[in-house]
Amino acid sequence: MSIDGIVLVHKPEGCTSHDIVDALRKILNQKKTGHFGTLDPMATGLLLIALGKATRLFPFFSKLDKEYRGEITLGFATDSYDATGVPTTPSSDKFPIEDVLVHTIQSFVGEQTQIPPAFSAKKYKGQPLYKLARAQKEVSPAPTQINVRLFQLERYSPPQIGFKIRCSSGTYIRSLAHDLGQKLGCGAMLSKLERTCVGAYSLEDAYTLDGIESLAQRNCVSEAILPIEELLPEFPKLILKDSAVLVAQNGNTLYPEHVLKLIPAETAEADFNLKEPAIFRVFNPQGKLMAFARKKSDSHGLHPFLVIDTNTQIS
C-alpha cells in the first residue's frame, strides 16, 4: 500500500541522507521515497523524507528556511571546511576576544552571496563539486544568493564556538564557518552541526529510524506520517464539485462554477479576481488532495500547474 506524506527523521552522525532514504524505503516498503534537503554525513538532526506522491512537493519544501545549532573550532582551516577535511593552514592560537567575535559573527547576518565549498554535492557543469575536488580539478562555481536571518553566539570557550543560525535554503554552514575564520585571521572549521528546524517542522517531533521500524512492526507507522492532505496549510483549500474532478485531473482551467467550497473563505474572492498569484490546494469532495493551482494571468480561472492525483474516482 502506497503512503503519501512526509516523515520527520532524526538523522544520526556518520550516514548520508541517501542512507536514510534507502533505509526508510525498506522499512516502509515504499519505492517512491526522497528527502527534502540533504545533510552532510557528519551532521545530525532533522530530515524531511517524502513518501509517494508527496515527493512531488519538493519545489515547495526546498525553499523553506533552516535552523541549526553547532560548533565551530578556531585555529586552522580545512579543505572541506569541516572536521572531515585536511588542514590547509598552519595552526594558530591567536583567538579573538568575545566582543570581536560577536561583532564579526553579526557581520554575516543579512543577504549575501556565497561560494559553495569545493567538497559539496553542488553541481558544476553536471558534475558534483566533490568529485572534481577529489580529482584535484580547479573550478570556479558561481556564487549563490543566501540570507542569514540569525547568527548567534551561544558559547565561547576558545577554540570552540557554540552557535545558533537561521538561514535561507541553500546556505552552506561549513562555508560560513570557513569565512568566519578568514575574517578573524585565525582560521576555522565546522566541527559539529545539528539541524533543529526546517520551516515550521521541528527536530523535537522527529523519529529515529529504530523508532519508525518499531512502529512499522506494530502496524502503527501512520503515527509517524504527516499525510499529504495536511501539508502546506498556508495555501487556501479549494474543494471541487464532483463534476469538476476530471477538469482538474486533466490540468484544465478551474472556474468559480467548479468550486464547492473555499477554506478559509476570506483568503480569496469567490470569483478568483485576485491581485496576487495566490496558490490553492485543490481537493475532491471526498477530501483527497488532487492538485495545486494558481490564478491565470489572462482570465479569472485557476490553472492546475501541479496535478498530484490523476486517478481519483468520482462518486
Annotated active-site positions, please? 40
The angle formed by the CA atoms of residues 2, 59 and 131, to the nearest 5 degrees, is 95
Instruction: Quote the CA–CA distance of 93 and 98 in Å, as a whole number.
Output: 15
Beta-strand relationship, 188-198 and 289-295: unpaired
Write a three-state SS string for 298-309: CCCCEEEEEECC
Query: Phi first, then psi: what are they for 233, rounded to 5°?
Result: -65, -10
* Cis preceding-peptide flag for 264 (omega within 30 of 0): yes
The angle formed by the CA atoms of residues 114, 116 and 118, to the nearest 5 degrees, is 145
User: Using an 8 Å Cβ cutoff, are 305 and 292 in contact?
Assistant: yes
